[in-house]
Structure 1
Amino acid sequence: MDIVFAGQVIEWRGPSPYYFVPVPEEQSADIQEVASMATYGWGVVPVEARIGEVSFATSLFPKDGGYLLPLKNAVRKPQRLSTGDEVTVELTVRL
């Protein structure tokens, strides 16, 4: 399943900050339809993602009926992405 969406980078504060892009409601609903075939536990969904020129493997985190795409520093820093930046995400759910 391939999905493209735009979203804003958000910061989740904790002992150390984490950065995410929330998956919009419509695309989250599409992912939920196949999540049971893809998840390997705890509701996380493995994906291949691309933002700009950087491709990476990660897992979507379920949150409030939708999903959050985590942004590792290796993805965020080379592109100088920070809180509030708008990004376009190409996503493939690994089934």
Structure 2
Amino acid sequence: MDDFTVTTPLWRWQSATAPAAWYFVTIAGDVADAIRVAAISGQWLDGRKGFGSARVDVQIGDTRWKTSVFPHRESGGWLLPIKAAVRKAEGIAEGDAVTVTVSL
């Protein structure tokens, strides 16, 4: 299993029609390329899923979980959703620089 670490800002997306907001970090550059190569080469047992997503293990601080990353057209990288339980456990908020380790 390969681990890649990036530090990137946490940002919020909110629909104009829905009250809920979603929080993400954008994974770009070399780490995004490594995820893409692994997804294409079939390193994931489940392969790529809906919306071109790929399964990853993620760690922020002491919090570790399994989730998916989603292709991000604007950056050419991936979007990693950060759920409320992780933000609360790690004390992170919109605009904070977040160090994320993604395991493939």
- State how far apart, in whole Å, the 1-side matches of 2:102 and 2:57 are: 6
Gaps of 5+ in 1: none
Q: How does 1:1-95 map to 2 (within 5 A)?
A: 1-14=2-15, 15=18, 16-36=20-40, 37=42, 38-64=47-73, 65-93=76-104
Contact 1:56/1:75, CA 8 A, preserved across alignment: no
- State how far apart, in whole Å, the 1-side matches of 2:92 and 2:32 are: 23
Amino acid at match of 1:22: T
**What stretches of structure 1 move > 3 A for 4+ residues in a row?**
none
RMSD: 1.2
Q: How many residues align?
A: 93
Question: How does the TM-score come out when normalised to structure 2?
Answer: 0.82
Question: How does the TM-score come out when normalised to structure 1?
Answer: 0.89
